[in-house]
Amino acid sequence: MITIDWLHFTPASALAGGLLIGLAAALLILLEGRIAGISGIIGGLLQPPRKGDVAWRLAFALGLVAAPMLYQVLAEMPQSRIDSGWATLVVAGLLVGFGSRLGSGCTSGHGVCGLSRLSPRSLAATIVFMTAGFVTVFAGRHLFA
């Protein structure tokens, strides 16, 4: 049985944030003709540069990094906590970087844009990474805790 943690359930802000993420993805495709896949946008910077294909990627990444700085000025930052230890973070980062590039996308490229395009390929990717995420947390918290 699933027990829902009503105390930490934040439907309104989750939905509002989701709409903003969707808006960003919408603007990028409608104005620039590009898919808002973060792993693809960053990963493209680590490949041999193509002319005219670097600055926009850097600018988008800079926007993400600057977002909390801007947000802090306008409103109070919601709580954020990283509980993982250093070694876990390094392994997790390597897997996220390598895996998202090998699989051609992450939560944004496959999960948001791909599902919005009704792509069967992205649906398969999303089912696989969600399942892998659920299983990993289950193993870490309940099997080998």
Applying the rule CB under 8 A, the residues between 100 and 119 that interact with another protein are: 100-108, 110-119
Distance from C-alpha of 70 to C-alpha of 61, rounded to nearest angstrom? 14
Is 66 a residue that touches another protein (CB under 8 A)?
yes
Contact 39, 107 (CB under 8 A): no
Residues 16-45 that bind another protein (CB under 8 A): 16-36, 38-39, 42-43
Sign of the alpha-carbon torsion through 92, 94, 95, 99: positive
Which is nearer to another protein, 51 or 102 (by Cβ)? Answer: 102
Provide the minimum distance between the beta carbon of 44 and another protein in the complex, in angstroms, as a whole number.
10
Provide the minimum distance between the beta carbon of 134 and another protein in the complex, in angstroms, as a whole number.
6
User: Within 10 Å of residue 37's Cβ, how many Cβ atoms?
Assistant: 25
Provide the minimum distance between the beta carbon of 55 and another protein in the complex, in angstroms, as a whole number.
5
